[in-house]
Amino acid sequence: MATSDTTTTKPMIVFDNVEKRFGANVILAALNFTVEPGEHVTLIGPSGSGKTTILRLLMTLEKVDAGTIRVGGAYLSHMEKGGRLVPADEKHCRTVRKRIGMVFQQFNLFPNMTVRGNLIEGPTRVLGLPKDEANARAAELLELVGLKEKIDAHPTQLSGGQQQRVAIARALAMRPEVLLLDEVTSALDPELVAGVLSLLRDIGDTTDLTILCVTHEMGFARDFSHRVMMLDGGRVVEDAPPSQLFSEPREQRTRDFLRAVLDRR
């Protein structure tokens, strides 16, 4: 009922004049962009540019102040009621949100559960999967992220890199269509970053997930993304394939940012 089929080609994500403020502070100003199914889009930009807010809006961790967001053709921020668009209620959010998974900077594994518990929680409680099926899926995903032997460990017994791998597996266990990666390597020790990034590359190569990624790893952004969006002050400054954006950025703002980021290394 909530799905609206107005266009013939169906983008996976549509931001339509999205506005987000925190008090008087405008984070996103009339933001427009679309992401096609299977596309990997990386968001770069200085802190406060609204990158993470975009992911949080998609995960319904924040609400839009104006404009609409659609995911897979369905309104996420709103729902249709009596022919009008009204802000989405919790129940509506939950249905659309099931198509989206998110991995956080701080992992956010549930410390009161084992790795297995973390992995089967969503599938059993939300998708209604029988326990043995959820367990099988958990084992499969742990194999994928290289932590098969940690299934009965507690998150606190794992390194940051291992925790983040479990968090990635937890997000995938929900079989989402869209995966949001919010600075997933920023909290990791430097020597653990490469492993997590190569896991993400594998996942990107072997699945048809639509991936939206906020990262400071420019090398990863370059070879992982189909498109890079440079944000500044809540606006898209430049939107181009990585080969172009990193090699010959058109905008001065992008050049300044890239120089600052690359100088830091």
Partner 1 sequence: MPLWDWDYAFGILPDLLRALVTTIEITLLASAVALVLGLLIAIVRRTRIPVVDQLVWALVEFIRSTPLLVQIFFLFFVLPHFGITLSALVVGVLALGVHYATYTSEVYRAGIEAVPPGQWEAATALSLPRTRTWTGVILPQAIPRVLPALGNYVISMFKEVPLLLAIGVVEVVNAAREIGSVTFRFVEPYTIAGILFLLLSYPASMLVRRLERCRGDV
Closest C-alpha to 210, from 223, 191, 196, 226? 226
The piece of 63-71, 101-109, 203-211, 212-220 that touches partner 1 (CB under 8 A) is 101-109
In this structure, the strands spanning 25-35 and 178-182 are unpaired
Residue 232 Cβ vs partner 1, minimum distance, rounded to whole Å: 25
**Contacting residues for 110 by C-beta, under 8 A, at least 6 apart:** 117, 118, 121, 155
Residues in the chain: 265
Helix (H) or strand (E) holding 227, with range, is strand 227-232
Is position 108 an interface residue for partner 1 (rule: CB under 8 A)?
yes
Q: How far is the CB of 219 from partner 1 (least distance, A)?
A: 27
Q: How far apart are CA 100 and CA 153, in angstroms?
A: 26
- Considering only 6, 47, 112, 206, the residue that binds partner 1 (CB under 8 A) is 112
Question: Which residue, 6 or 156, has its beta carbon nearer to partner 1?
Answer: 156
Q: Which is nearer to partner 1, 51 or 227 (CB)?
A: 51
Query: Given the structure tokens 């990585």, which residue do they identify?
Result: 242
To the nearest whole angstrom, how small is the minimum distance from the Cβ of residue 90 to partner 1?
8
By the rule CB under 8 A, 94 interacts with partner 1: yes
Cβ 59 vs Cβ 102: under 8 Å: yes
Establish if 87 lies at the interface with partner 1 (CB under 8 A): no
- To which residue do tokens 């924040």 refer? 62
Among positions 19, 80, 121, 251, the unique one binding partner 1 when judged by CB under 8 A:
121
Q: How many residues bind partner 1 (CB under 8 A)?
A: 26
State in angstroms the smallest separation of the CB of 195 from partner 1. 22
Q: Which of 44, 54, 59, 237 binds partner 1 (CB under 8 A)?
A: 59
CB atoms within 10 A of CB 265: 7
Q: How many other C-beta atoms are found inside a 10 Å radius of the C-beta of residue 137?
A: 20
Binders in 163-202 for partner 1, by CB under 8 A: 170-171, 174
Binding mask 13-42 for partner 1 (x = CB under 8 A): ------------------------------
Cα 128 off chain centre by: 24
For residue 171, CA distances in Å to 123, 164, 181, 240 come to 10, 11, 10, 28
111 interacts with partner 1 by CB under 8 A: yes
Q: Give the C-alpha separation, 16 to 213, whole Å.
A: 19
Q: Which of 85, 86, 126, 260 binds partner 1 (CB under 8 A)?
A: 126
Residues that bind partner 1 (CB under 8 A): 59-61, 90, 94, 97-98, 100-102, 104, 106, 108-113, 121-122, 125-126, 156, 170-171, 174
